[in-house]
Amino acid sequence: MSELLSKVAELLNAPESLVQRSAEARAEASGRTVDEVLQSWAGGESVASAEKPAEEAPPAEEPAPPVEDKLI
């Protein structure tokens, strides 16, 4: 993994420690391995999440009509 880490760090122009931490976080969030994340970053592919995407929330109700202020 160190060669791959070095390659990705060079491609991203970032320190290896930062790339390592970022890859670990992405791997945990997506359910992939760190190597899979680094390989995708090295090849430009995206890492698909292992989980299904969250469903969109239903549209909000229409807002109430504005209240007119009347001066007395």
Provide the residue type at 10 as one letter: E
Token pair 């899979």 is found at 36
Segment holding 20, helix H or strand E: helix 16-30
pLDDT tens digit string along 30-39? 999 999 999 9
With contact defined as beta carbons under 8 Å apart, do 1 and 34 qualify?
Answer: yes
pLDDT tens digit string along 6-41? 999 999 999 999 999 999 999 999 999 999 999 999
Whose CA is closest to 38, among 5, 2, 11?
A: 5
With contact defined as beta carbons under 8 Å apart, do 14 and 23 qualify?
Answer: no
Three-state secondary structure call for residue 63: coil
Q: Answer whether 0.75 is exceeded by the pTM.
A: no
